[in-house]
């Protein structure tokens, strides 16, 4: 094994990827597997979890597909037990559930507000409680929360989503501070514009033009372009002194002004 391979190796590690049946988190899960980790895929839809787990298992690692509503505590408790019973431990947690909406502010119904905050923020709070507790007790681990460039400054037309992702950043940094002494690192990746499932429906031609004017690289990101950042944050060797960081992978979006 070369120096670089050793630095970024996840051999003998177990990664839990919540939302792993989706495009972006699924690419991260596959990247972890290629780096040597066994993978538990949690998704709201069991069929999606099974499909991704089957694809990943062809890489020669162990996989476990699980159905779980990440906003429900009992679902996560049961999933955590299943992962522990199957693998004996876990070392990496990716929190990547997400939903979006472009409802204008004065028209946002209370149930939509509640649902977006439950899926995007409450789920991460619960997962960090349930999976993070074992990481703290075992003396180490890496938690990677998926935020967004809309977390600040806030993005137009996605009011509740932007607020939920700002909360993700705060949760990430709070837990990084609290758990550093236990060797549990907590970081976030803030993607720019990746045409994933939850935002395709609001990408009108006008919206796309606005995004490109604000993105120096003048294109959308591709799912595979998040993988290296995720592996870096997951690796004990490569990012051993990194915690509380919000890593932006956005094609220059947050560096752009007039």
**Which residues belong to the active site?**
161
**Closest-CA residue to 99 (of 77, 68, 122, 66):** 122
- Residue 112 CA to residue 75 CA, distance in Å, equals 22
- Residue 137 CA to residue 234 CA, distance in Å, equals 18
**Closest-CA residue to 168 (of 197, 229, 125, 111):** 125
Which helix (H) or strand (E) segment holds residue 11: the answer is none
**Closest-CA residue to 256 (of 220, 218, 217, 215):** 215
Q: Which residue has the tokens 């935020």?
A: 147
Dig out the tokens for 60 from the structure.
């020669």
Please spell the DSSP secondary structure of 135-162, one letter per residue: HHHHT-EEEEEE--TTBTTBPTT-HHHH
* Total residues found in the chain within this entry: 258
Q: Which residues pair with 18 in a beta bridge?
A: 42, 95
Instruction: Please enumerate in sequence order all residues whose Cβ is within 8 A of that of 46, keeping only pairs 6 or more positions apart, or say none.
Output: 65, 66, 67
The DSSP code for 118 is I
- Residue 172 CA to residue 143 CA, distance in Å, equals 9
- Residue 13 CA to residue 91 CA, distance in Å, equals 6
């Amino acid at each position: 094994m070369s120096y670089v391979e050793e630095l970024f190796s996840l051999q003998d590690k177990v990664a839990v990827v919540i939302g792993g049946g989706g495009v972006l988190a699924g690419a991260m899960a596959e990247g972890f597997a290629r780096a040597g980790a066994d993978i538990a895929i949690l998704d709201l839809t069991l069929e999606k979890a099974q499909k991704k787990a089957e694809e990943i298992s062809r890489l020669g690692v162990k996989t476990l597909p699980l159905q779980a509503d990440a906003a429900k505590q009992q679902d996560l408790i049961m999933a955590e037990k299943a992962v522990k019973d199957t693998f004996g431990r876990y070392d990496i947690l990716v929190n990547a559930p997400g939903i979006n909406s472009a409802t204008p502010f004065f028209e946002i119904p209370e149930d939509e507000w509640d649902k977006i905050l439950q899926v995007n923020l409450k789920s991460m709070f619960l997962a960090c409680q349930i999976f993070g507790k074992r990481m703290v007790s075992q003396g180490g681990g890496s938690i990677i929360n998926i935020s967004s460039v809309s977390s600040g400054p806030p993005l137009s037309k996605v009011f509740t989503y932007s607020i939920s992702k700002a909360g993700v950043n705060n949760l990430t940094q709070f837990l990084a501070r609290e758990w550093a002494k236990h060797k549990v690192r907590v970081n976030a990746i803030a993607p720019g514009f990746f045409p994933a499932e939850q935002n395709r429906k609001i990408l009108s031609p006008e919206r796309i033009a606005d995004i490109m004017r604000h993105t120096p690289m003048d294109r959308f990101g591709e799912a595979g372009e998040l993988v290296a950042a995720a592996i870096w944050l997951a690796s004990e060797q490569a990012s051993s002194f990194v915690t509380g960081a919000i890593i932006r992978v956005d094609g220059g979006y947050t560096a752009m002004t007039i």
